[in-house]
């Protein structure tokens, strides 16, 4: 099934890694507003938000309901490569992986 909006958001999500850490949430809120009508996109956005942006909501029941938030599985400062790009550093460990591969031969 062809869904141009879903395809577009799939291209937007990896771009978040290039935003500075302090701009990710601001950018996230803007994109959420742009794609608020598509159910398929909403499911993907919810997953991304729970895993990478805010974390998963949780409710604690001990006499009363108290909304809480679990931290994201992958915090923003872990996956943002913006500072590495600014400092002209590698964004991945491919260089180390290549070196280890040659060492193991």
Report residue 35's pLDDT band, with 50, 70 and 90 as the boundaries. confident
The model's pLDDT over 5-33, given as tens digits with 9 standing for 90+, comes to 899 999 989 999 999 999 999 999 998 88
Total number of domains in the chain:
1
The model's pLDDT over 93-103, given as tens digits with 9 standing for 90+, comes to 677 776 777 77
| Domain extent at residue 64 | 4-103
Is residue 22 a contact partner of residue 47, using CB atoms and an 8 Å limit? Answer: no
The model's pLDDT over 39-67, given as tens digits with 9 standing for 90+, comes to 889 999 999 999 999 998 876 666 666 67
User: Is the pTM above the cut of 0.85?
Assistant: no
Reference 19, options 97, 65, 86, 70; nearest CA is 86
């Amino acid at each position: 099934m062809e869904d141009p909006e879903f395809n577009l958001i799939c291209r937007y999500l990896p771009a978040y890694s290039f935003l500075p850490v302090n701009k990710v949430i601001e950018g996230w809120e803007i994109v959420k507003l742009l794609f608020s009508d598509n159910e398929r996109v909403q499911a993907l956005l919810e997953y991304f938000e729970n895993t990478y942006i805010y974390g998963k909501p949780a409710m604690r029941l001990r006499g009363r309901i108290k909304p809480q938030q679990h931290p994201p599985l992958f915090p923003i400062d872990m996956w943002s490569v913006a500072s590495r790009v600014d400092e002209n550093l590698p964004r991945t460990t491919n260089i180390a992986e290549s070196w280890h591969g040659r060492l193991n031969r």
